[in-house]
Amino acid sequence: MSLAELLGRPRVLILQHAAFVLLAVLLSLLPTDAASVSPSQQVMNSIARKNGWGQSSSLEMGVEVDAGDGRLRGVVLDSGDSDLAFVDSPELHVYVGADERDHLVFRMKYLGQCDLAMISLERAPSETNAWATTDRRVLHDPVRIPFELHTNVLEQDDIYYIPIWQHVTGVIRRVRLHPCVSRNGITGQSFSLDWVAFAKAPVITKVRGCIDKYYGYQHFPDSSHSDEDSMLPQLNCTELERWTNGFHHSSAAVCAPMLLPRAATYNCAREGGGLLSISGKHFGTADAVVTIDGVECLDAVHVVPEVELQCRLPAAASQWLANPAYPSVVRVHNGHLLQLVGEAPSLSYAAPVTAPQMPIISNVAAHGLDVNWRAPDDVWESMTVTGYLVAWKRCADASFLAEDVVVVGNVTSTTITELESAMSYQVKVTPLTEDQIRWPLEWQNIDLYGRRSMLPDAVIGINSPLSSCVETPALGTPDSTDAFRLPCVFLEQVGLTSPRDDPQISPSPNSTRRC
């Protein structure tokens, strides 16, 4: 099978695929009579015509080779020196970048008793004619990369992916293939090699679509790149504040993209369905496969060839739900050579919000009271909160009743009514995280008490500590005025206003309270 048939696409398009951008290096070394051959045929025949491969003699290489039908076939000779058995490439000029994820990819079948092979890479000299000898048998300052031979007989397992970027950077001058470096001396072992390519695996730089964080570093964080400031996440969001009944403060954020080089996204809906955008390079032009923790992202499309993908977020895997871990790993696979893959821990599903501080009870009347609490201090966590569960119980009771709870929006106070007089109560507050993208209006629509219904698939956070016990006054006492049957407002002589930032702030002397 030729490389074009392996890729399953018109052969004339092979050179347009980013994963094989360096194949042209090999093609340029064809004999001059190849000018009339199509590019795809040149790829297919690059080994068949030897194209400079295996030009040393059999005694020099320890391998007897024969080329034909799109393949280079070889028999390993019994020289007694396993390192002597090799096949050299022609002279190359291939640049391997530190952050380009370059691989040497080839398809080879080895028949014989061997389990270890090796690739040796010769780098270009730092100065012209720096090497004293031009003996082709001598590989100057080689970078040796051993690899295990495949034992599976399936055809797809004959493809080898050597991550040369992990071992070398700079210009590669020559490649030497040692088909076996661990044979047991039995002669007649053979191999077949039908195509070789320098390929680039995908590189992910941005994942966006939920709540997005941006970073200033150019490279993946390690000890040699980035500084402390570039590691700090940034956002471009505007807070939209609302005041319900002139008293209950609620907020939402509207965010815009930033031009920083890296981005990750978090608070993604566990049920999936949201649109993700994945930016980077070497994604190819078609058929890329995107996964989140091993679950395939749906409807993946190449929005911009090579550099931009979009797909539908899959639901969190059952294994993840059983043991949530943050962040999740996003992977992009080359659509034709699936082991060319780039990955980045750049997505997090919605996480339970940490416990708020102990709520404060105020404005206690015979049949009601106000509950006040603080939103999370951490800005990233506060942006995930869409509402709260507010529950109350009599202090003498051991547990909360299911009916004694209300759901409120993203507010920091509410009023609890229909309580018993002369009874001690305490409350707790639990944050909620709901899908802000799926329910853009519903999570913000609240009544005069700040209440609403809980939305589907809400992630329930950690309970706050219980408040102090507060006793409602008995009926007929001076403090028993029932002011909680309707929400209360303050009427100024010049208009309707109220204290906003703190429920303990008193209204102005010119205002009156009406309930």
pLDDT tens profile 318-365: 889 888 989 999 999 998 888 999 999 999 999 999 999 999 999 999
d(CA 136, CA 25): 20
Could you tell me what percent of the chain has a pLDDT over 70? 71
Q: Is the pLDDT higher at 39 or at 344? A: 344
Q: Are 435 and 457 in contact (CB under 8 A)?
A: yes
pLDDT of residue 507: 39
Query: Do 272 and 131 fall into the same domain?
Result: no
**How far is C-alpha 35 from the chain's CA centre?**
44
pLDDT of residue 3: 42
What does the buried/exposed string (b/e) look like for 343-361 if buried means 16 or more CB atoms within 10 Å of the residue's CB?
ebebbbbbbebebbebbbb
pLDDT tens figures, 411-463: 999 999 999 999 999 999 999 999 999 999 999 999 888 999 999 999 999 99
Residue 295 β-bridge partners: 292
pLDDT of residue 151: 74
pLDDT of residue 35: 31
What is the three-class DSSP state of 218?
A: coil
Give 18: exposed, middle or buried? Use CB within 10 Å, 0-12, 13-18, 19+. middle
Query: Do 226 and 241 fall into the same domain?
Result: yes
**How far is C-alpha 12 from the chain's CA centre?**
33
Q: Is the pLDDT of residue 75 over 90?
A: no
Q: Could you give phi then psi for residue 318, rounded to 5 degrees?
A: -60, -35
Query: Do 310 and 401 fall into the same domain?
Result: no
Q: Is the pLDDT higher at 332 or at 80? A: 332
338 phi-psi bin (left φ>0, alpha ψ -120 to 50, beta other): alpha
pLDDT of residue 82: 56
From the CB of residue 336, how many other CB atoms can be counted at a distance below 10 Å? 20
Query: Do 14 and 38 fall into the same domain?
Result: yes
What is the rounded average pLDDT of the residues 180-187? 66
CATH number at residue 7: 2.60.120
Query: Do 446 and 489 fall into the same domain?
Result: no
Residues 6 or more apart from 199 whose CB is under 8 A from it?
19, 20, 22, 102, 103, 104, 105, 334, 337, 340
pLDDT of residue 231: 78
Q: Is the pLDDT of residue 46 over 50?
A: no
Q: Is the pLDDT of residue 408 over 90?
A: yes
> pLDDT tier at 139 (50, 70, 90 boundaries)?
confident
Q: Pick the most confident of 5-9, 62-66, 390-394.
A: 390-394
pLDDT of residue 162: 95
H or E, element range at 27: helix 23-27
Query: Do 108 and 48 fall into the same domain?
Result: yes
Query: Do 397 and 473 fall into the same domain?
Result: yes
> pLDDT tier at 45 (50, 70, 90 boundaries)?
very low
pLDDT of residue 493: 33
Query: Encoding tokens for residue 227?
Result: 């500084």
Q: Is the pLDDT of residue 47 over 50?
A: no
pLDDT tens figures, 1-32: 444 444 433 222 222 333 343 333 333 333 33
Query: Do 135 and 51 fall into the same domain?
Result: yes
CATH number at residue 343: 2.60.40.10
Q: How many domains does the chain have?
A: 4
pLDDT tens figures, 284-323: 999 999 999 999 999 999 999 999 999 999 999 888 988 8
Q: Is the pLDDT of residue 64 over 70?
A: yes
Q: Pick the most confident of 79-88, 240-249, 381-390.
A: 381-390
> pLDDT tier at 34 (50, 70, 90 boundaries)?
very low
Query: Do 239 and 302 fall into the same domain?
Result: yes
Q: Are 299 and 311 in contact (CB under 8 A)?
A: yes
Range of weakest confidence among 7-11, 384-388, 487-491: 7-11
pLDDT tens figures, 208-238: 999 999 998 765 544 444 456 567 888 888 8
Q: Is the pLDDT of residue 485 over 90?
A: no
Query: Do 34 and 182 fall into the same domain?
Result: yes
Residues 6 or more apart from 153 whose CB is under 8 A from it?
none
Residue closest to 70 by CA, chosen among 90, 89, 42: 42
> pLDDT tier at 72 (50, 70, 90 boundaries)?
confident
Q: Are 178 and 129 in contact (CB under 8 A)?
A: no
Query: Encoding tokens for residue 58?
Result: 């059999």
pLDDT of residue 39: 29
Q: What is the DSSP string of 445-476?
A: ---TTSB-PPPTTPEE-PPPPPPPPEEPPPTT
Query: Do 138 and 99 fall into the same domain?
Result: yes
Q: Which of 200, 219, 248 is the last residue of a domain?
A: 200
What is the rounded average pLDDT of the residues 35-48? 33
Query: Encoding tokens for residue 83?
Result: 């390192």
Residue 437 vs residues 161, 265, 346: alpha-carbon distances, Å: 40, 13, 19
pLDDT of residue 295: 95
What is the rounded average pLDDT of the residues 196-209? 95
Query: Do 175 and 31 fall into the same domain?
Result: yes
Q: Which of 200, 234, 261 is the last residue of a domain?
A: 200
E strands, 163-247, are 170-178, 190-200, 203-208, 211-215, 237-244
Q: Rounded to two decimals, what is the model's pTM? A: 0.77
49 phi-psi bin (left φ>0, alpha ψ -120 to 50, beta other): alpha
* Domain carrying residue 296: 203-349
Query: Encoding tokens for residue 290?
Result: 């995107």
